[in-house]
Amino acid sequence: MDSIAMRFLRRGIVSSLLGAILCCQTDALSATQRKLPPPPGVPEVTPALRRELLRELTDDDFRVREHASNVLRQGSVDTIKSLKQYVAGQEEWEATVEGKVRALQISQDVYLRLLRWQLDDDALRVRGMIDEIRLADDPLLGPRLDTFHVTHAALMERASIRSLVRLNAVMEFRKVPRYFPGISKQDFSTELPFHVFIGEDWLGEEKDLRHVELLLLLGESQFGNSRALYRIHGCPIPLEAFQDLAAGLPGVFVEERSRARLGIAANNPQFGDFLDWEVTQIHPGSSAAHAGLRTKDRIVRLEGEIIKTFRDLTIKLEAYKPADIVTLDVLRDQSVAREVTMQVPASLEEIGIKLDADFQRFTIIQSIKKDSEAERLGLNHLLRIDRLNGQPVNGPDNFLLYYTRLKPGETMVLTVREFEQVSVTLRGWVGPYR
Protein backbone atom coordinates (compact mmCIF):
# COMPACT_ATOMS: atom_id res chain seq x y z
CA MET A 1 0.00 0.00 0.00
CA ASP A 2 2.82 2.39 0.87
CA SER A 3 4.54 1.80 -2.50
CA ILE A 4 1.29 2.46 -4.40
CA ALA A 5 0.70 5.68 -2.46
CA MET A 6 4.26 6.82 -3.16
CA ARG A 7 3.78 6.20 -6.92
CA PHE A 8 0.64 8.36 -7.01
CA LEU A 9 2.39 11.03 -4.96
CA ARG A 10 5.34 11.13 -7.38
CA ARG A 11 2.96 11.34 -10.34
CA GLY A 12 1.17 14.29 -8.73
CA ILE A 13 4.42 16.13 -8.09
CA VAL A 14 5.61 15.55 -11.68
CA SER A 15 2.26 16.73 -13.10
CA SER A 16 2.36 19.85 -10.97
CA LEU A 17 5.90 20.63 -12.09
CA LEU A 18 5.00 20.11 -15.76
CA GLY A 19 1.94 22.34 -15.38
CA ALA A 20 4.00 25.06 -13.77
CA ILE A 21 6.61 24.87 -16.55
CA LEU A 22 3.94 25.02 -19.27
CA CYS A 23 2.25 27.99 -17.57
CA CYS A 24 5.55 29.83 -17.35
CA GLN A 25 6.25 29.17 -21.05
CA THR A 26 2.76 30.33 -21.97
CA ASP A 27 3.12 33.53 -19.94
CA ALA A 28 6.51 34.20 -21.47
CA LEU A 29 5.16 33.57 -24.98
CA SER A 30 2.22 35.87 -24.38
CA ALA A 31 4.53 38.59 -23.14
CA THR A 32 6.72 38.14 -26.24
CA GLN A 33 3.73 38.25 -28.54
CA ARG A 34 2.39 41.36 -26.87
CA LYS A 35 5.69 43.19 -27.22
CA LEU A 36 5.87 45.00 -30.55
CA PRO A 37 9.23 45.39 -32.25
CA PRO A 38 10.65 48.92 -32.27
CA PRO A 39 10.48 50.87 -35.53
CA PRO A 40 13.56 50.51 -37.73
CA GLY A 41 16.20 53.08 -36.91
CA VAL A 42 17.94 55.12 -39.57
CA PRO A 43 21.69 54.57 -39.40
CA GLU A 44 23.85 57.66 -39.56
CA VAL A 45 27.56 58.12 -40.02
CA THR A 46 29.25 60.01 -37.18
CA PRO A 47 30.53 63.55 -37.98
CA ALA A 48 34.17 62.55 -37.46
CA LEU A 49 33.85 59.55 -39.76
CA ARG A 50 32.04 61.65 -42.38
CA ARG A 51 34.92 64.11 -42.54
CA GLU A 52 37.39 61.27 -42.98
CA LEU A 53 35.28 59.66 -45.70
CA LEU A 54 34.88 62.94 -47.58
CA ARG A 55 38.66 63.29 -47.59
CA GLU A 56 38.96 59.72 -48.91
CA LEU A 57 36.67 60.60 -51.85
CA THR A 58 39.64 62.59 -53.24
CA ASP A 59 42.22 59.86 -52.53
CA ASP A 60 44.42 58.65 -55.38
CA ASP A 61 43.64 54.99 -54.66
CA PHE A 62 40.42 53.80 -56.35
CA ARG A 63 39.83 51.20 -53.64
CA VAL A 64 39.91 53.88 -50.94
CA ARG A 65 37.42 56.03 -52.87
CA GLU A 66 35.14 53.04 -53.41
CA HIS A 67 35.28 52.10 -49.73
CA ALA A 68 34.39 55.69 -48.74
CA SER A 69 31.41 55.65 -51.11
CA ASN A 70 30.09 52.37 -49.72
CA VAL A 71 30.25 53.60 -46.12
CA LEU A 72 28.66 56.95 -46.94
CA ARG A 73 25.75 55.08 -48.55
CA GLN A 74 24.84 53.81 -45.09
CA GLY A 75 24.14 57.35 -43.90
CA SER A 76 21.00 59.44 -43.94
CA VAL A 77 19.99 63.13 -43.99
CA ASP A 78 23.10 64.50 -42.23
CA THR A 79 25.36 62.57 -44.58
CA ILE A 80 23.66 64.08 -47.65
CA LYS A 81 23.95 67.54 -46.09
CA SER A 82 27.74 67.03 -45.79
CA LEU A 83 27.90 65.78 -49.40
CA LYS A 84 26.03 68.90 -50.54
CA GLN A 85 28.60 71.10 -48.79
CA TYR A 86 31.41 68.98 -50.28
CA VAL A 87 30.15 69.44 -53.85
CA ALA A 88 29.54 73.18 -53.28
CA GLY A 89 33.18 73.64 -52.21
CA GLN A 90 32.34 74.38 -48.56
CA GLU A 91 34.67 71.67 -47.22
CA GLU A 92 38.43 71.88 -46.94
CA TRP A 93 38.86 69.32 -49.73
CA GLU A 94 38.03 70.46 -53.24
CA ALA A 95 35.66 68.08 -54.96
CA THR A 96 36.94 66.45 -58.12
CA VAL A 97 34.72 65.64 -61.11
CA GLU A 98 34.57 62.02 -59.97
CA GLY A 99 33.90 63.16 -56.41
CA LYS A 100 30.88 65.20 -57.52
CA VAL A 101 29.47 62.29 -59.49
CA ARG A 102 30.04 59.95 -56.55
CA ALA A 103 28.32 62.42 -54.20
CA LEU A 104 25.28 62.51 -56.48
CA GLN A 105 25.16 58.71 -56.77
CA ILE A 106 25.46 58.26 -52.99
CA SER A 107 22.67 60.79 -52.42
CA GLN A 108 20.42 59.00 -54.91
CA ASP A 109 21.06 55.63 -53.26
CA VAL A 110 20.25 57.04 -49.80
CA TYR A 111 17.11 58.65 -51.20
CA LEU A 112 15.88 55.37 -52.69
CA ARG A 113 16.60 53.51 -49.46
CA LEU A 114 14.56 56.03 -47.46
CA LEU A 115 11.69 55.66 -49.91
CA ARG A 116 11.77 51.87 -49.62
CA TRP A 117 11.66 52.20 -45.83
CA GLN A 118 8.73 54.63 -46.22
CA LEU A 119 10.60 57.36 -44.35
CA ASP A 120 8.94 59.88 -46.64
CA ASP A 121 9.76 63.07 -44.68
CA ASP A 122 13.47 62.26 -44.62
CA ALA A 123 13.33 61.26 -48.28
CA LEU A 124 11.75 64.58 -49.22
CA ARG A 125 14.47 66.51 -47.38
CA VAL A 126 17.11 64.48 -49.18
CA ARG A 127 15.40 65.15 -52.51
CA GLY A 128 15.65 68.89 -51.90
CA MET A 129 19.35 68.58 -51.11
CA ILE A 130 19.90 66.50 -54.27
CA ASP A 131 18.45 69.38 -56.29
CA GLU A 132 20.94 71.71 -54.55
CA ILE A 133 23.80 69.33 -55.40
CA ARG A 134 22.73 69.58 -59.03
CA LEU A 135 22.93 73.37 -58.95
CA ALA A 136 26.60 73.17 -57.92
CA ASP A 137 27.52 71.77 -61.37
CA ASP A 138 24.43 71.46 -63.56
CA PRO A 139 26.24 70.66 -66.86
CA LEU A 140 27.91 67.66 -65.18
CA LEU A 141 25.19 66.47 -62.82
CA GLY A 142 21.98 67.67 -64.51
CA PRO A 143 21.69 64.95 -67.19
CA ARG A 144 22.46 62.21 -64.65
CA LEU A 145 19.78 63.51 -62.29
CA ASP A 146 17.23 63.80 -65.12
CA THR A 147 17.78 60.14 -65.99
CA PHE A 148 17.42 59.21 -62.33
CA HIS A 149 14.09 61.07 -62.05
CA VAL A 150 12.71 59.39 -65.17
CA THR A 151 13.81 55.94 -64.03
CA HIS A 152 12.48 56.22 -60.48
CA ALA A 153 9.51 58.55 -61.04
CA ALA A 154 6.96 55.90 -60.05
CA LEU A 155 8.70 55.28 -56.71
CA MET A 156 8.81 59.00 -55.96
CA GLU A 157 5.13 59.40 -56.91
CA ARG A 158 4.08 56.56 -54.61
CA ALA A 159 5.96 58.13 -51.71
CA SER A 160 4.18 61.47 -52.11
CA ILE A 161 0.82 59.79 -52.65
CA ARG A 162 1.37 57.68 -49.54
CA SER A 163 2.20 60.79 -47.50
CA LEU A 164 -0.88 62.66 -48.72
CA VAL A 165 -3.16 59.73 -47.97
CA ARG A 166 -1.78 59.55 -44.43
CA LEU A 167 -2.50 63.27 -44.06
CA ASN A 168 -6.13 62.77 -45.21
CA ALA A 169 -5.85 64.44 -48.60
CA VAL A 170 -8.14 63.13 -51.35
CA MET A 171 -6.92 62.66 -54.92
CA GLU A 172 -8.50 61.89 -58.26
CA PHE A 173 -6.39 59.88 -60.69
CA ARG A 174 -6.33 59.56 -64.44
CA LYS A 175 -4.51 56.97 -66.53
CA VAL A 176 -1.81 58.42 -68.78
CA PRO A 177 0.87 56.95 -71.07
CA ARG A 178 4.44 57.21 -69.94
CA TYR A 179 7.57 57.11 -72.08
CA PHE A 180 11.20 56.51 -71.16
CA PRO A 181 13.26 57.97 -74.02
CA GLY A 182 16.75 56.59 -74.18
CA ILE A 183 15.91 53.93 -71.60
CA SER A 184 13.14 51.80 -73.11
CA LYS A 185 11.28 51.77 -76.43
CA GLN A 186 8.22 50.25 -74.77
CA ASP A 187 5.34 52.52 -73.78
CA PHE A 188 3.90 52.18 -70.29
CA SER A 189 0.72 53.49 -68.71
CA THR A 190 0.32 54.75 -65.19
CA GLU A 191 -2.16 56.70 -63.09
CA LEU A 192 -1.32 60.18 -61.87
CA PRO A 193 -3.34 62.49 -59.59
CA PHE A 194 -4.65 65.57 -61.37
CA HIS A 195 -7.09 66.84 -58.71
CA VAL A 196 -6.17 67.17 -55.02
CA PHE A 197 -8.71 68.00 -52.30
CA ILE A 198 -7.72 69.14 -48.80
CA GLY A 199 -10.34 69.78 -46.12
CA GLU A 200 -10.96 70.16 -42.41
CA ASP A 201 -9.57 66.72 -41.52
CA TRP A 202 -6.12 67.59 -42.94
CA LEU A 203 -3.49 66.31 -40.50
CA GLY A 204 -0.49 68.01 -42.01
CA GLU A 205 1.07 71.44 -41.96
CA GLU A 206 1.66 74.01 -44.64
CA LYS A 207 5.08 72.55 -45.41
CA ASP A 208 3.45 69.22 -46.31
CA LEU A 209 1.95 70.85 -49.41
CA ARG A 210 5.29 70.12 -51.09
CA HIS A 211 3.96 66.60 -51.73
CA VAL A 212 1.12 68.19 -53.70
CA GLU A 213 3.59 70.35 -55.58
CA LEU A 214 5.66 67.33 -56.58
CA LEU A 215 2.68 65.33 -57.85
CA LEU A 216 1.10 68.18 -59.81
CA LEU A 217 4.48 69.02 -61.31
CA LEU A 218 4.94 65.42 -62.49
CA GLY A 219 1.59 65.60 -64.31
CA GLU A 220 2.33 68.87 -66.13
CA SER A 221 3.05 67.35 -69.54
CA GLN A 222 0.12 64.87 -69.35
CA PHE A 223 -2.65 67.05 -67.90
CA GLY A 224 -1.69 70.66 -68.61
CA ASN A 225 -4.43 73.06 -67.52
CA SER A 226 -6.73 70.31 -66.21
CA ARG A 227 -4.78 70.04 -62.94
CA ALA A 228 -6.50 71.55 -59.92
CA LEU A 229 -5.99 72.03 -56.20
CA TYR A 230 -9.13 72.45 -54.08
CA ARG A 231 -9.36 73.92 -50.60
CA ILE A 232 -12.50 72.61 -48.91
CA HIS A 233 -14.21 74.81 -46.30
CA GLY A 234 -12.76 74.22 -42.85
CA CYS A 235 -9.25 73.43 -44.08
CA PRO A 236 -6.65 74.64 -41.53
CA ILE A 237 -4.33 75.83 -44.33
CA PRO A 238 -5.22 79.33 -45.64
CA LEU A 239 -6.25 79.78 -49.27
CA GLU A 240 -3.26 82.09 -49.81
CA ALA A 241 -0.89 79.17 -49.20
CA PHE A 242 -2.62 77.18 -51.98
CA GLN A 243 -2.39 80.17 -54.31
CA ASP A 244 1.30 80.68 -53.55
CA LEU A 245 1.92 77.01 -54.32
CA ALA A 246 0.06 77.20 -57.64
CA ALA A 247 1.97 80.34 -58.64
CA GLY A 248 5.00 78.16 -59.28
CA LEU A 249 3.00 75.53 -61.17
CA PRO A 250 1.77 76.91 -64.52
CA GLY A 251 -1.67 75.62 -65.48
CA VAL A 252 -2.74 74.54 -61.96
CA PHE A 253 -6.18 75.87 -61.00
CA VAL A 254 -6.90 76.71 -57.34
CA GLU A 255 -10.43 76.99 -55.99
CA GLU A 256 -12.24 76.92 -52.67
CA ARG A 257 -15.25 74.63 -52.41
CA SER A 258 -17.98 73.96 -49.86
CA ARG A 259 -17.97 70.80 -47.78
CA ALA A 260 -20.78 69.19 -49.82
CA ARG A 261 -19.94 67.67 -53.18
CA LEU A 262 -22.24 66.84 -56.06
CA GLY A 263 -19.62 65.14 -58.23
CA ILE A 264 -20.16 66.45 -61.77
CA ALA A 265 -18.22 68.34 -64.42
CA ALA A 266 -19.69 70.71 -67.00
CA ASN A 267 -18.80 72.03 -70.44
CA ASN A 268 -19.29 75.67 -69.41
CA PRO A 269 -17.96 76.16 -65.88
CA GLN A 270 -17.47 79.91 -66.26
CA PHE A 271 -19.74 82.92 -65.86
CA GLY A 272 -21.96 83.49 -68.94
CA ASP A 273 -25.60 83.71 -67.80
CA PHE A 274 -26.82 83.47 -71.40
CA LEU A 275 -24.75 80.39 -72.20
CA ASP A 276 -26.41 77.03 -71.75
CA TRP A 277 -24.41 74.24 -70.14
CA GLU A 278 -24.84 70.55 -69.47
CA VAL A 279 -23.27 67.82 -67.40
CA THR A 280 -20.29 66.32 -69.21
CA GLN A 281 -18.95 63.95 -66.55
CA ILE A 282 -20.26 62.03 -63.55
CA HIS A 283 -17.53 61.15 -61.06
CA PRO A 284 -17.69 57.49 -59.99
CA GLY A 285 -18.99 56.96 -56.45
CA SER A 286 -20.18 60.56 -56.13
CA SER A 287 -23.56 61.91 -54.99
CA ALA A 288 -24.53 62.49 -58.62
CA ALA A 289 -23.68 58.92 -59.59
CA HIS A 290 -25.75 57.42 -56.77
CA ALA A 291 -28.68 59.75 -57.52
CA GLY A 292 -28.78 58.73 -61.18
CA LEU A 293 -27.63 61.93 -62.85
CA ARG A 294 -26.34 61.42 -66.40
CA THR A 295 -24.17 63.18 -68.91
CA LYS A 296 -26.05 65.75 -71.05
CA ASP A 297 -28.40 66.50 -68.14
CA ARG A 298 -29.22 70.20 -67.69
CA ILE A 299 -29.63 71.24 -64.05
CA VAL A 300 -32.28 73.97 -63.90
CA ARG A 301 -33.03 74.40 -60.18
CA LEU A 302 -31.59 73.45 -56.81
CA GLU A 303 -34.25 73.29 -54.10
CA GLY A 304 -36.47 75.57 -56.22
CA GLU A 305 -33.75 78.18 -56.88
CA ILE A 306 -32.78 78.68 -60.52
CA ILE A 307 -29.26 77.72 -61.56
CA LYS A 308 -27.79 80.11 -64.11
CA THR A 309 -24.22 78.88 -64.46
CA PHE A 310 -22.14 75.98 -63.21
CA ARG A 311 -20.38 78.46 -60.95
CA ASP A 312 -23.80 79.48 -59.60
CA LEU A 313 -24.45 75.83 -58.72
CA THR A 314 -21.18 75.50 -56.76
CA ILE A 315 -21.95 78.70 -54.82
CA LYS A 316 -25.46 77.55 -53.89
CA LEU A 317 -24.07 74.21 -52.71
CA GLU A 318 -22.07 76.09 -50.05
CA ALA A 319 -25.26 76.35 -47.97
CA TYR A 320 -25.37 72.56 -47.58
CA LYS A 321 -23.28 69.99 -45.78
CA PRO A 322 -22.56 66.29 -46.38
CA ALA A 323 -25.56 64.00 -45.74
CA ASP A 324 -28.07 66.76 -46.65
CA ILE A 325 -30.75 65.73 -49.17
CA VAL A 326 -31.54 68.21 -51.97
CA THR A 327 -33.89 68.15 -54.98
CA LEU A 328 -32.67 69.06 -58.45
CA ASP A 329 -34.94 69.99 -61.37
CA VAL A 330 -33.21 68.35 -64.32
CA LEU A 331 -33.94 68.49 -68.05
CA ARG A 332 -32.96 65.13 -69.51
CA ASP A 333 -31.46 64.93 -72.96
CA GLN A 334 -33.99 62.23 -73.92
CA SER A 335 -36.98 64.14 -72.52
CA VAL A 336 -39.93 63.74 -74.93
CA ALA A 337 -41.50 66.92 -76.32
CA ARG A 338 -45.26 67.42 -76.43
CA GLU A 339 -47.46 70.10 -77.92
CA VAL A 340 -50.05 72.24 -76.15
CA THR A 341 -52.56 74.15 -78.30
CA MET A 342 -54.53 77.20 -77.16
CA GLN A 343 -55.98 80.47 -78.38
CA VAL A 344 -53.78 83.53 -78.11
CA PRO A 345 -55.03 85.61 -75.15
CA ALA A 346 -54.63 89.32 -74.68
CA SER A 347 -51.68 88.65 -72.34
CA LEU A 348 -49.80 85.73 -70.83
CA GLU A 349 -51.13 86.67 -67.41
CA GLU A 350 -54.64 86.16 -68.74
CA ILE A 351 -53.92 82.57 -69.67
CA GLY A 352 -52.04 82.05 -66.35
CA ILE A 353 -48.43 81.66 -67.49
CA LYS A 354 -45.53 83.45 -65.80
CA LEU A 355 -42.10 83.02 -67.37
CA ASP A 356 -38.91 83.14 -65.32
CA ALA A 357 -37.29 86.35 -66.59
CA ASP A 358 -34.09 85.79 -64.53
CA PHE A 359 -33.35 82.49 -66.26
CA GLN A 360 -31.71 83.18 -69.62
CA ARG A 361 -30.33 79.78 -70.65
CA PHE A 362 -33.67 78.87 -72.25
CA THR A 363 -37.37 79.52 -71.66
CA ILE A 364 -38.90 78.01 -68.52
CA ILE A 365 -42.20 78.54 -66.75
CA GLN A 366 -41.83 80.07 -63.31
CA SER A 367 -45.42 79.51 -62.12
CA ILE A 368 -48.98 78.77 -63.30
CA LYS A 369 -51.99 80.64 -61.94
CA LYS A 370 -54.41 78.40 -60.06
CA ASP A 371 -57.62 77.50 -61.92
CA SER A 372 -56.30 79.13 -65.09
CA GLU A 373 -56.47 77.93 -68.71
CA ALA A 374 -52.78 77.00 -68.52
CA GLU A 375 -53.42 74.76 -65.51
CA ARG A 376 -56.35 73.12 -67.30
CA LEU A 377 -54.06 72.34 -70.26
CA GLY A 378 -51.53 70.65 -67.96
CA LEU A 379 -48.85 73.32 -67.92
CA ASN A 380 -46.71 73.66 -64.77
CA HIS A 381 -43.42 75.06 -63.47
CA LEU A 382 -41.53 71.90 -64.47
CA LEU A 383 -41.67 72.66 -68.20
CA ARG A 384 -39.30 74.16 -70.74
CA ILE A 385 -40.82 75.89 -73.77
CA ASP A 386 -38.83 74.86 -76.84
CA ARG A 387 -40.94 76.31 -79.65
CA LEU A 388 -43.76 78.75 -80.30
CA ASN A 389 -45.73 77.77 -83.43
CA GLY A 390 -42.70 75.79 -84.61
CA GLN A 391 -40.29 78.68 -84.09
CA PRO A 392 -37.38 77.93 -81.70
CA VAL A 393 -37.30 80.26 -78.70
CA ASN A 394 -33.97 80.81 -76.91
CA GLY A 395 -34.88 82.50 -73.67
CA PRO A 396 -37.79 84.50 -72.23
CA ASP A 397 -37.02 87.69 -74.20
CA ASN A 398 -36.94 85.76 -77.46
CA PHE A 399 -40.25 84.08 -76.57
CA LEU A 400 -41.96 87.42 -75.86
CA LEU A 401 -40.66 88.84 -79.13
CA TYR A 402 -42.48 86.14 -81.12
CA TYR A 403 -45.51 86.19 -78.84
CA THR A 404 -46.17 89.92 -79.34
CA ARG A 405 -46.42 89.33 -83.09
CA LEU A 406 -49.46 87.09 -82.61
CA LYS A 407 -52.96 88.50 -82.69
CA PRO A 408 -55.58 87.67 -80.02
CA GLY A 409 -57.71 84.73 -81.10
CA GLU A 410 -55.02 83.09 -83.24
CA THR A 411 -54.00 79.52 -82.53
CA MET A 412 -50.84 79.18 -80.48
CA VAL A 413 -48.94 75.89 -80.25
CA LEU A 414 -46.35 75.51 -77.51
CA THR A 415 -43.78 72.71 -77.75
CA VAL A 416 -42.71 71.84 -74.21
CA ARG A 417 -40.49 69.33 -72.44
CA GLU A 418 -40.82 68.31 -68.82
CA PHE A 419 -38.13 68.40 -66.13
CA GLU A 420 -37.41 65.47 -63.88
CA GLN A 421 -36.99 66.02 -60.16
CA VAL A 422 -33.99 64.12 -58.78
CA SER A 423 -33.36 63.65 -55.06
CA VAL A 424 -29.66 63.73 -54.17
CA THR A 425 -27.99 62.82 -50.88
CA LEU A 426 -24.91 65.01 -50.82
CA ARG A 427 -21.52 63.57 -49.99
CA GLY A 428 -18.35 65.35 -48.96
CA TRP A 429 -15.16 66.08 -50.83
CA VAL A 430 -13.22 64.73 -47.86
CA GLY A 431 -14.02 63.07 -44.55
CA PRO A 432 -16.39 60.26 -43.51
CA TYR A 433 -19.23 61.20 -45.90
CA ARG A 434 -17.05 61.20 -48.99
What single string gives the DSSP state of each residue in 152-165? THHHHHHHHHHHHH
Question: Is the pTM here over 0.75, yes or no?
Answer: no
Residue 7 phi, psi (nearest 5): -65, -45
What residues form DSSP beta bridges with 327?
423
Give CA–CA dist 276/66, Å, rounded: 69
Give the chain's count of helices (H) and strands (E): 16, 18
pLDDT at 4: 44
Coil, helix or strand for 264? Answer: strand
Give CA–CA dist 332/420, Å, rounded: 7
* H or E element that contains 257: strand 253-257
Cβ(327)–Cβ(307) below 8 Å: no
pLDDT at 336: 92
Across 302-312, b (16+ Cβ under 10 Å) vs e yields beeebbbbbbb
Give CA–CA dist 27/30, Å, rounded: 5
Give CA–CA dist 233/318, Å, rounded: 9
Neighbours of 408 (CB within 10 A): 10
pLDDT at 133: 92
pLDDT at 14: 39
pLDDT at 213: 87
Coil, helix or strand for 173? Answer: strand
Give CA–CA dist 361/397, Å, rounded: 11
Give CA–CA dist 153/157, Å, rounded: 6
pLDDT at 434: 54
pLDDT at 102: 92
What residues form DSSP beta bridges with 254?
229
Q: What is the DSSP letter of 224?
A: G
Could you read off the pLDDT tens digit of each residue along the chain, which spans 434 residues?
445 444 434 444 434 443 444 344 444 444 344 444 444 555 677 888 888 998 898 888 999 999 999 999 998 999 999 999 999 888 777 888 999 999 999 999 999 998 888 888 888 889 889 999 999 899 999 899 888 877 777 788 888 888 898 899 988 888 877 665 555 556 667 778 888 999 988 999 998 898 888 888 877 767 777 788 999 988 999 999 999 988 888 888 898 888 888 989 887 655 555 578 899 989 888 899 999 999 999 999 999 999 998 888 988 998 899 999 999 999 998 889 999 998 888 788 888 999 999 998 899 999 999 999 899 999 999 999 999 999 999 899 999 999 888 888 899 999 999 999 999 999 988 766 55
pLDDT at 236: 93
Give CA–CA dist 135/306, Å, rounded: 56
